[in-house]
A and B are shown apart, each in its own frame.
Chain A
Amino acid sequence: MITAGVDIGSTASKAAVLKDGSPIAQVVGASTTNPKRTAQEIFERALSEAGVAREEVACVVGTGYGRTQVPFANQNVSEITCHGRGAHFLQPAVRTVIDIGGQDTKVILIDGQGNLMDFVMNDKCAAGTGRFLEAMARSMEIPLDAFEEQYLGSGDPSVISNMCSVFAESEVINLVNDGVPLASIVKGLIQSLASRVASIARRLGLEPQVTMTGGVAKSGAVRDALARKLGVPLVGFGTQDPQLVGALGAAIVAADYARGCPPAGFGPAAGG
């Protein structure tokens, strides 16, 4: 049985195809202002990579902010549920998933079957999200990828006292103008982001094991800072791209639907 998950996020869109419970394709691309077209394109890319035809797919689940804009999906499910299921699929001992995406941060508690137990999200503020790091990289005029190297560089972290992204940006510009080494600023920024995320996580309380998903999870620097801030190790996924965990989870949920058993009591699948 083949199923698929399509995750339309605010900055990136992802798709995963599952065959008999194993991933056979996972793709990621940029989101556009036309989510329907984005969904179509990313889905087609995934099908092509998997080498399967659309008709072979028993069920598609849309997730992410654009989940209702996936016209060919049989069902849409929140990305909170999908990240939980995806993370459980990859690391069954995980009970807490920290998903840092482009525009928000979610902390998700799951049970031993990957079912959603509780969750908490950041408020509207962008601090503690991928956008925060992007904006800061822009103001320092360095690529986001360079954060990794800077974080590992020497020097004490700068204190970024302002938690608001807008004010933090001006604080960063001031630090740059004052000649503070980039490594110190980057460390300060990453620690500030980690503090923000940790504060959201504390609202829920973490259950070990803890993992991290979403695009920001690709940053070893953020993972390191967050693990230190939380005082717990973060379980990784090996070679699996953490950004694709939501799409993978959606494909798993789709498999539940295709088997005719809505996952954990969800409503019946709608027609595509």
Chain B
Amino acid sequence: MSRSTGLRTPRLDRGKLRGREALLETPEWRELLESLPVLRSFFAGDPGAHGITALLHGVSIYLERLFDSIDRGAPCVWYNLGFNPELVYALGDAQPITIEMLGVMHNLLGNLDRSLAFIDRAEAEGAPGDCCSADKLAAGAMHLGLYPSPACTVGINTPCDAQVMGTQVMAELGRAPFFAVDVPYYHNEETVRHVAAQLRLLVPFLEEHTRRRLDIDRLREVCRLSNQMTETLWEWLDWRKLVPLTQSSKLVAFTLVLQILFTGTEEGLAIARGLLQEARERQERGERFFEERCRAIWYQDPVWTDMQIYDWFERDLGLTVPVDVFGFYAHTTLIDTSSLDSMLEGLARKLVNCHPMARQFRSDIDVYIQDFLHLHEAWRADCGIFAGHVACKHAWGGIGLFKEACRRAGIPLLVFEFDMFDPRVTSYDDIFFQVERFVNEVVLPRKARGRG
């Protein structure tokens, strides 16, 4: 029966995905591969687009490695987007798979029909309409049986409550041993120790179910790459503090993708270096693709459904986004690679204090607000844009106090509702209209008054 109809859909059958050929028989994987060269060609005319070129190259390598591991029958480990895959990469040929990956990639590549089909499938299978579309992308892909069967699954309760949905559905549909990583509420050392202790238990769990031994030297290398990527991102973000911004606004949100898919890999480091190189070269060359008239801290969620909207903001409004909450990689201690324990503690610290969103979303509202105020000041922004993903309860639950903090700090703030993966909730035009009105009627006049 066709899955495009309302007819009763067959139960998922992941057993069929035994090799890359089987995978590529599915339109979801085939289209993904077909889209990548198209996207690469968009940037072929810009030899300075090192960031996006490296990202697309990294995605290709990731997919190739994924296909290769499926061909070899290597064990897969599923996890949700709050987790980082360094430990899995240290298990030899084990393959990490983020359950949101396929839906998010289709969304980013503009294959909206595919990603919306994931959302619809998740709802058809019982996911409530008011739950997060990120989780529904994951649930839909799992229901369609698009990921190879996992040897085991890892769920973490960050960055937010919505992940409870993703992880529970993963545990149910994965039909494989499941390990929950609990991240407490507090921002303190006890939280780091608590998470590190669980990672210590996670190692034998992964070893048992993947039948691979954790190679400590390999982990050290993974952590070294992870650290290098972190340092490179810090430097890159520093370049984006300069006014005017010379690099595209939309690149900043990709930090999260980097953390989720690539941290601890050569590709991850290459992407971070590409972003840095691009920012530095464009700045040094003084390139200008747009006239920057004002800059915003985009807080909460990027418009994944159409990242071109940031180009519009730049071109039509002179609005740039030097950093957003998905792109902000907070300064913290790097992973100490001297021993297994020190590495696990470093990974735990990174998960709870640095991972974009997990840092801001899991605790009291103060961290969330303080980070925003810091970004606003350090990246010399003129305003804040709270792009409120409809299902993001933690963010909407803090909106009153967040607005108050912005008012106290004298920061103009736009608040609007949308769904970061589903344009049926708020249309692209509506978003643009709201941002345009805010910039032209609030931000720019205010800035002009300030200059006067």
Chains A and B share a contact (CB less than 8 Å): yes
The 8 A CB mask of A193-235 against B (1 = contact, 0 = none) is: 0000011011101111000000000000000000001111000
Which of A161, A199, A230 lies in contact with B427, CB distance below 8 A?
Answer: A161
A163–B424 CB distance below 8 A: yes
By the criterion CB–CB under 8 Å, are A205 and B424 in contact?
A: no
| A258 at the B interface (CB under 8 A) | no
0/1 string, B1-22, CB within 8 A of A gives 1: 0101111110000000000000
Closest to A202 in B: B124
Interfacial chain A residues near B120, Cβ < 8 Å: 199, 202
Q: Is the CB of B7 within 8 A of A205?
A: yes
Query: What is the CA–CA distance of A231 and B117 in the complex, to the nearest angstrom?
Result: 14
A230 to B427, CA, bound (A): 24
Interface size class of A (residues with CB under 8 A): 10 to 19
Chain A residues contacting B123 (CB-CB under 8 Å) are 199, 202-203
Q: Is there a chain A Cβ closer than 8 Å to B342's Cβ?
A: no
Complex interface: chain B residues within 8 A of A159 (CB): 427
| Contact, CB under 8 Å: A231 / B6 | yes
Tell which of B5, B8, B126, B423 touches A231, judged by Cβ atoms closer than 8 Å: B5
A11 to B129, CA, bound (A): 27
CB distance from A218 to the nearest CB of B (A): 21
Q: A206 CA to B6 CA in the complex, in Å?
A: 6
Chain B min CB distance to A180 (Å) = 13
Other-chain contact of A201, B6, B129, B423 (Cβ < 8 Å): B6
Kindly list chain B residues whose C-beta atoms are within 8 Å of the C-beta of A203. 123-124, 126
B426 touches A (CB below 8 Å): yes
Question: Would B424 and A230 count as touching, CB distance under 8 A?
Answer: no
Nearest opposing residue in chain B for A231, CB measure: B5
Within the complex, what minimum Cβ distance (angstroms) separates B226 from chain A? 41
Centre residue among B4, B124, B425 by max chain A CB count within 10 A? B124
Assess whether B5 is in contact with A230, with CB atoms less than 8 Å apart: yes
Residue from B7, B8, B424 within 8 A of A161 (CB atoms): B424
**What class of interface size applies to chain B in its complex with A?**
10 to 19
In contact, B423 and A199 (Cβ under 8 angstroms): no
Query: Hey, what's the 0/1 contact readout for B210-235 against A, CB within 8 Å counting as 1?
Result: 00000000000000000000000000
Most buried by B among A161, A198, A206: A161
A199-B124, A203-B126 are contacts. A161–B6 as well, Cβ < 8 Å? no
Q: How far is the CB of A160 from chain B (nearest CB, A)?
A: 10
- Which residues of A have CB within 8 Å of B5? 206, 230-232
User: Min CB distance, A70 to chain B, in Å?
Assistant: 34
Query: Given A206-B5, A208-B7, A232-B7 in contact, is the A161-B124 Cβ separation under 8 Å?
Result: no
Find out whether the CB atom of A232 lies under 8 angstroms from the CB atom of B8. no
Contacts of A232 on B, CB cut-off 8 Å?
5-7
Q: A206: which B residues are within 8 A, CB to CB?
A: 5-8
The answer on a CB contact under 8 Å between B9 and A161 is no
Which residues of chain B have C-beta atoms less than 8 A from A161's C-beta?
A: 423-427, 430
Contact A231 B2 (CB under 8 A): yes
Q: What 6 A-B pairs come out closest when comparing CB atoms?
A: A231-B5, A202-B124, A205-B8, A230-B6, A161-B427, A201-B6
A-B contact pairs, 8 of them (CB 8 A): A159-B427, A161-B427, A202-B121, A203-B124, A203-B126, A206-B6, A207-B8, A231-B7
10 new A-B contacts at CB < 8 Å, known A199-B123, A206-B7, A229-B6: A123-B129, A161-B430, A162-B427, A198-B6, A199-B124, A205-B7, A205-B8, A206-B5, A230-B7, A231-B6
